[in-house]
Amino acid sequence: MEPRTADAATGGKAGCKGRSRAKGAEKPSLYDEVTARVITELKAGRAPWVQPWGTPDAKAGLGLPKNALTGRAYSGVNILILWHHVARAGFATQTWLTYRQAQEMGGHVMKGERGVTACHADTFIPKAERQRAAKDGNDPERVPFLKRFTLFNVEQCEALPEDAYQGAAPLPEAEVVPHAERLIEATGADFRVGGTKAFYVPSQDFIRVPPQPGFFEQVNYYRTCFHELGHWTGHDSRCARDLSHFFGSKPYAREELVAELASAFVCATLGITPTVRHTDYIGSWLEVLKEDNRAIFRAASHASKAADFILAFRNAETAAEAAA
């Protein structure tokens, strides 16, 4: 966008009792754990939402992590946590479930397997705040919190139904570009091709990208288009994020991180391998992450909403074709 206007905590070990925490010991913050892991990856010159398909040990097909029982895709920072563990462990699938869900499906987690801690973000209203609001006649303020839960990859389980072990196969190379083209067109966004820079102009609601032959690797044309579409979703008429920040500012860097993650999420869904941005962007992200341990959580949450907004056009197009 041009200025035109932690390693996740390791979960419980199946079949074993965990050590009890010393009385009075403070529970590690999941915000700190995940942020520390992302900072470590960025310092090494890697973006953790890209690395899973840039390492020789990676075996899983492209796609968003999903739940084996419900079929629902995980969102927000859980995508980054699970992608990281798929790459580190060399799993062949992006499919996960809880200990109880494995049992519900007629199987079980293999003894000694360690799960990965994911999180569910929610809010609640403390009793004291309810009382204060009732007394003052104001709306009570909600307090955000994270709830931890442990997931296991289906490869860590036995006796599950056969279809639970099937990995997400990447689309054939010849089909990747047509899928991307159709999705870009389906959004109805004002795309203007030309010049040597890519950017989104919020005040005029249009996207400019260089022509595809101008890219060293032409597939990056699509990654760039989805990055700018990530910014496009922030318009007041869509996901309504604040896009008024000037180039080089920390809020600007946060928005760039949102767009970069949104592009990675969309590309993964389409079977396009996302690529790492230039080091100047990585440097600005590091500054933001080091001073705010919740920045990656907020960015990933906004990015999931942006990716869902974009991919909804693909789903609508598929539904229309099926009805025809």
What is the domain count for the chain? 2
For residue 180, the enclosing domain spans 173-323
Q: Are residues 111 and 241 in the same domain?
A: no
Residue 49 lies in a domain: yes
pLDDT in tens, the chain (324 residues): 543 323 333 345 565 444 444 455 566 688 898 899 889 888 887 777 764 444 444 566 668 999 999 999 999 999 999 998 888 887 888 999 999 999 999 999 998 889 999 998 878 888 888 888 888 888 888 888 788 999 999 989 999 998 888 765 554 443 457 889 999 999 999 999 887 789 999 999 999 998 888 787 888 899 999 999 999 999 999 999 999 988 888 899 999 999 999 999 999 999 888 665 655 567 788 889 999 999 999 999 999 999 999 999 988 877 666 666
pTM over 0.85: no
Q: Are residues 318 and 180 in the same domain?
A: yes
Among 205, 272, 278, 277, which residue's Cα sits nearest to residue 237? 205
Q: Are residues 301 and 179 in the same domain?
A: yes
Q: Are residues 138 and 99 in the same domain?
A: yes
Residue 279 lies in a domain: yes
φ and ψ of 252, to 5 deg: -65, -45
Residue 5 lies in a domain: no
Q: Are residues 189 and 158 in the same domain?
A: no
DSSP letters, 204-234, are TTEEEE--GGGSSSTTHHHHHHHHHHHHHTT
Q: Are residues 194 and 143 in the same domain?
A: no
Q: Are residues 216 and 269 in the same domain?
A: yes
Q: Are residues 230 and 252 in the same domain?
A: yes
CB neighbourhood size of 15 (10 A): 11
φ and ψ of 278, to 5 deg: -65, 160
Residue 2 lies in a domain: no
Q: Are residues 147 and 257 in the same domain?
A: no
Q: How far apart (Å, rounded) are the C-alpha atoms in residues 188 and 201?
A: 15
Last residue of a domain, one of 115, 138, 165: 165
Q: Are residues 179 and 313 in the same domain?
A: yes
Q: How far apart (Å, rounded) are the C-alpha atoms in residues 183 and 312?
A: 9
